[in-house]
């Protein structure tokens, strides 16, 4: 691994860690020696990268540090292009257009030696049949970001419609359509709503009366419990 790549990987490792990382762990991750790690850390600090070293504990990257744009490895570039093509083929019109714009921007700014990753990608995404949807999914994403309640008219399998006030949490993208995870005031619990069954959606002025991180934590906990229950039931049947 070249020195520039090692320095980049060290910064990425410290960024992901969220806490002190020892020189030994960095060396193991990079397949190098502790002595090389000490030299690389010194080189980064000499370039004003805000790394703090704590004796016997490890190194910490201070918050707020930004790497120069698009310092991507070959695999990272492949991942970005594959993801953008997936969104372009499965996202709603605004998001699909944004994905194509992203690919065009990456093509312009990546080094010439990596441009083939964009123009002649080694991966592809299978085509899908578009799902008809009345609701613009960008409204759902805006409600999630704005932490706003929503009034939803929803149609179930039997064609029955109900009005729901929900707290949107996350919009999940699948090969066939999208699903909104939310807290449903009517059912007093977490529910999942297919966007192709949404008849209408209104973003309300009311803010969700719970912090976003706390709501997501409750939702993840409920999902974990649901998965654990599913596994237990199938083990008992087996």
What pLDDT is stored for residue 196 in this prediction? 92
Q: Domain 3-61 adopts which CATH fold?
A: Arc Repressor Mutant, subunit A (1.10.10)
Cα–Cα distance, 140 to 173 (Å, whole number): 12
- Quote the strand ranges of 185-238, DSSP E: 189-194, 198-207
10-residue averages of pLDDT along the chain (238 residues):
78 85 90 89 86 81 68 84 94 91 88 86 88 85 96 94 97 90 96 95 96 94 89 75
Looking at residue 230, what is its pLDDT? 80
State the Cα–Cα distance between residues 220 and 173, nearest whole angstrom.
Answer: 17
182: part of which helix (H) or strand (E)? strand 178-184
- Quote the CA–CA distance of 30 and 16 in Å, as a whole number: 15
Does the domain at 137-237 match CATH 2.30.30.520? Answer given as yes
**Domain span(s) for CATH 2.30.30.520 in the chain:** 137-237
The confidence score (pLDDT) of residue 232 equals 81
Give pLDDT, residue 7: 84
pLDDT at 9: 85
Give the per-residue pLDDT at 184: 97
Measured distance CA(176)–CA(193) in Å, rounded: 14
Q: Write the burial class of residue 87 (CB in 10 Å: 0-12 exposed, 13-18 middle, 19+ buried).
A: buried
Q: Report pLDDT for 69.
A: 53
Kindly report, as residue ranges, where domains of CATH 1.10.10.10 are found in the chain.
3-61
pLDDT for position 145: 95
């Amino acid at each position: 691994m070249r020195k520039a790549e090692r320095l980049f990987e060290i910064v990425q490792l410290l960024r992901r860690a969220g806490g002190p990382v020892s020189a030994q762990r960095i060396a193991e991750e990079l397949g190098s020696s502790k002595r090389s790690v000490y030299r690389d850390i010194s080189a980064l600090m000499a370039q004003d990268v805000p790394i703090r070293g704590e004796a016997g504990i490890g190194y910490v990257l201070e918050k707020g540090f930004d790497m120069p744009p698009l310092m991507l490895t070959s695999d990272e570039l492949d991942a970005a292009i594959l993801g953008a093509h997936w969104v372009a083929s499965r996202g709603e019109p605004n998001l699909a257009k944004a994905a194509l714009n992203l690919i065009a921007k990456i093509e312009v700014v990546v080094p010439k030696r990596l441009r083939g990753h964009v123009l002649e990608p080694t991966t592809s995404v299978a085509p899908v049949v578009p799902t008809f949807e009345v609701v613009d999914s960008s409204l759902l994403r805006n409600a999630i970001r704005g932490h706003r309640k929503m009034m939803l008219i929803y149609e179930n399998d039997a064609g029955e419609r109900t009005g729901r006030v929900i707290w949107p949490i996350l919009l999940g993208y699948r090969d066939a359509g999208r699903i909104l995870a939310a807290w449903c005031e009517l059912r007093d619990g977490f529910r999942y709503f297919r966007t192709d069954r949404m008849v209408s959606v209104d973003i309300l002025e009311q803010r969700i009366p719970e912090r976003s991180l706390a709501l997501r934590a409750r939702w993840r906990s409920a999902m974990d419990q649901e998965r654990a229950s599913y596994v237990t039931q199938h083990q008992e049947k087996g």
